Amino acid sequence: MDLIDIHLGRRLRRRRRILGLTQQQLAGACGVRFQQIQKYECAANRMSAARLWQLAEVLEVPVSYFYEGLGQETHVDKDPEPPEPHQGKETKDLIQAFYSLSERPRQRLLDLAKSLNETDPEVSVGHAFP
């Protein structure tokens, strides 16, 4: 397994989970079987440039999302990645509600959240959650 393939698979899994999609749902949106998504996520199969583009479209991220943080990793553990911070049910519900909005309300909500953070100097990015 190549370190890049492992990284891409982890980013794919992370984004799929954030959106609350099952492997079956993502596979259906891409026209493949869920086993193919499994193989991408565990880096058993490589993703082509065309497949990365398609996944980025379905997952509503730029293709560059999959490569973020790649140069920062010095090694990749074979163990499953640790749970991500703020991945409780409330956070997942919020993210799903956010992505169920159309583009304009989503942008307005994002702008509102950013403006609320700017008005309170005590709150910093990364410390906004208990």
The residue ranges of the chain whose pLDDT is under 50 are 74, 78-79, 123-130
CA 117 to each of CA 39, 46, 110, 111: distance values in angstroms, whole numbers, following the listed order: 40, 40, 11, 10
Task: Tell me which amino acid residue 116 is.
Answer: L
pLDDT at residue number 81: 53
